[in-house]
Amino acid sequence: MKLFLPSARAVNVLLIVGFSALGYALYLRYLAIEQSTVGLACGAGLNTWLCFSRAIATTLFQNSVFGIAALLVAGGNLLRPSLVLFAVALAIACVGVVLYNVVLSSLAIGLLILSLSRREPEPE
């Protein structure tokens, strides 16, 4: 019975994915969403990439899309562990924790940790 444990190379890739998602979410939250000057400029009709991503992120976190998506992908990873699902769930959960979807995203992180105790799927 071999457990689903990522190799050292896979852990390095997962670290890069997690820190990149966390860094982008921190950038988006503190330099785009919470700054009043950016909010005023975007509200006045400024048509830039920053205003577009601010509007998309705001819409997504108000509807808890980050938390629900992280929970669904982490649940799928719990049922059938895979490095790709683990990386996607990790990225979405990191973004969700920073962008105000803390409850569902932290539950998804708990499911990701729990998925490390599952058996590795048998090759077909």
Residue 97 in domain? yes
Residue 44 in domain? yes
3-state secondary structure of 103: helix
* DSSP output for 39-53: HHHHHTT--SHHHHH
**Long-range CB contact pairs, 44-49, < 8 A, 24+:** none
User: Is the full-model pTM beyond 0.85?
Assistant: yes
**Structure confidence at residue 119 (pLDDT):** 83
Residue 102 in domain? yes
Q: What is the DSSP letter of 89?
A: H
Residue 123 in domain? no
Q: How far apart are CA 44 and CA 117, in angstroms?
A: 51
Question: Do residues 92 and 69 lie in contact, with contact meaning Cβ atoms separated by under 8 Å?
Answer: yes
Domain containing residue 22: 8-115
Query: How many structural domains compose the chain?
Result: 1
Parts of the chain with a pLDDT under 50: none
The torsion of the CA quartet 15, 20, 23, 26, rounded to 10 degrees, works out to -110
Q: What is the pLDDT of residues 16-52, one digit of tens each?
A: 999 999 999 999 999 999 999 999 999 999 999 999 9
